[in-house]
């Protein structure tokens, strides 16, 4: 098998080789290529020292110089080039205390996490695969390089990465690795919440969500949830996730559907941003509300949806987007109700197309009009506006300033 490299990557390897150094693509891009998947990124490893790389290429940036990584700007595209290295001792289950450069590609590959990620390739030398990574890929097996306990003690996040790769690739995790994860799960507490959160999101939106059960069987789940106890039946949740669109907010809502009042705290403890906390909490808290096939009741639910979703060019679309997402989630939880939910969806779209009012923004009268009509300032104006909005939601024809003033 040969791997067809992008022209820029091929040229970089040729230039390094012409200057007397070895150079390979390595890691995920080799794994993906072996699997027949087009790589998103191309990582290059070389025997050249960082300083030598900087001398060879005119435009470089020290993006990870502590670990031997230089970013080369080549034809307006950045490529990370890392010197072969041997990692020193890991004392915090996160990163090596020191890095030693080497000229041996196999020594560099020996420090990597899984055999499928410990393969190098160059057009001239072909594959360097000392740990059987290609065979494990053919077996759809995630196996550690060398001793699993050692690999996980070096970087505890690798335990969660094993589960995440199982979900992304549809691979099984090697038995030795599963035992080591179970024994060392507590060391995941040494990893930053942000890194854990990103792995969790990748796992949840992956194509093979059945791998999530490994979080429970290995005891990782409480550490992934920042110490919170999972409130639902994970097997049941997995079946629902499989029927949910691969959208982070929606799948998070299904995953945390049984968290109840704890949902906001769980998301905050996982360091999600405010918008994610707001949106996922909204979906979870409204998952089980009944939405009758009635325009007025549909408008009442639309009224509760956020008025913006990042698309400021069409702010009126925001509530409908959230509303349709909610209907999608309700359909995942109650597939037998699909026909009625679709009817509700079509009714909401007709409300939108007819430009019927369900927000104060679209009400034909505002606070200044009420103040001019001698409605007392403060809470009374807000209450009166809500009252008028309710009138208009029941009868769209009354959304007329003259009629509403007469109503006042």
For 133-188, write each residue's pLDDT tens digit.
999 999 999 999 999 999 999 999 999 999 999 999 999 999 999 999 999 999 99
C-alpha span between 285 and 280 (Å, rounded): 9
- Over residues 207-224, the mean pLDDT reads 95
Q: Where are the domains of the chain?
A: 1-131, 288-353, 360-407
Average pLDDT of the chain is 92
pLDDT of residue 313: 43
Pick the more confident residue, 91 or 164: 164
C-alpha span between 193 and 160 (Å, rounded): 12
Cα–Cα–Cα angle for 178, 182, 186, nearest 5°?
140
pLDDT of residue 81: 93
Tell me the whole-structure pTM to 2 decimals: 0.87
Instruction: Read off the pLDDT band of 258 (50, 70, 90).
Output: confident
* The CATH number of domain 1-131, selected from 3.30.450.20, 3.30.460.10, 3.40.50.800, 3.40.50.200: 3.30.460.10
The phi and psi torsions of 283 (rounded to 5 degrees) equal: -60, -45
How do residues 284-331 score in pLDDT, each as one tens digit?
999 999 999 999 999 999 999 987 655 444 456 789 999 999 999 999
């Amino acid at each position: 098998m040969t791997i067809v490299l992008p022209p820029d990557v091929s040229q970089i390897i040729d230039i390094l080789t012409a200057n007397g150094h070895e150079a390979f693509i390595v890691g995920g891009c080799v794994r993906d290529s072996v699997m027949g998947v087009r790589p998103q990124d191309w990582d290059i490893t070389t025997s050249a020292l960082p300083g030598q790389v900087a001398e060879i290429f005119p435009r470089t940036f020290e993006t990870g110089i502590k670990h031997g990584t230089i970013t080369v700007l080549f034809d307006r595209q950045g490529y990370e080039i890392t010197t072969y290295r041997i990692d020193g001792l890991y004392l915090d289950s996160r990163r090596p205390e020191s890095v030693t450069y080497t000229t041996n590609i196999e020594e560099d590959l020996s420090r990597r996490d899984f055999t499928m990620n410990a393969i190098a390739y160059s057009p001239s030398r072909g594959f360097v695969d000392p740990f059987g990574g290609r065979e494990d890929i053919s077996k759809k097996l995630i196996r550690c390089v060398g001793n699993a306990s050692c690999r996980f003690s070096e970087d505890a996040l690798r335990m969660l990465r094993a589960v995440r790769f199982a979900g992304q690739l549809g691979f099984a995790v090697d038995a030795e690795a599963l035992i080591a994860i179970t024994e060392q799960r507590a060391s995941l507490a040494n990893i930053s919440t942000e890194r854990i959160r990103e792995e969790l999101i990748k796992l949840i939106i992956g194509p093979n969500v059945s791998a999530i059960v490994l979080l429970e069987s290995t005891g990782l789940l409480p550490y992934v949830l920042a110490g919170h106890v999972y409130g639902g039946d994970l097997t049941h949740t997995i079946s629902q996730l499989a029927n949910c669109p691969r959208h982070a907010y929606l799948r998070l809502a299904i995953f945390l559907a049984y968290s109840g009042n704890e949902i906001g705290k769980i998301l905050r403890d996982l360091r999600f941003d405010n918008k994610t906390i707001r949106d996922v909490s909204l979906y979870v808290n409204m998952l089980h509300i009944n939405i009758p096939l009635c325009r007025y009741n549909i408008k009442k639910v639309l009224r509760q949806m956020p008025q913006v979703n990042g698309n400021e060019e069409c702010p009126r679309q925001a509530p409908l987007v959230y509303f349709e997402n909610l209907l999608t989630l309700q359909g995942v939880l109650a597939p037998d109700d699909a026909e009625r939910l679709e009817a509700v969806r079509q009714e909401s779209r007709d409300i939108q197309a007819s430009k019927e009012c369900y927000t104060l923004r679209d009400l034909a009268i505002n606070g200044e009009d009420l103040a001019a009509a001698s409605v007392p300032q403060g809470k009374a104006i807000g209450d009166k506006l809500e009252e008028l909005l309710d009138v208009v939601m029941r009868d769209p024809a009354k959304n007329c300033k003259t009629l509403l003033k007469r109503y006042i």
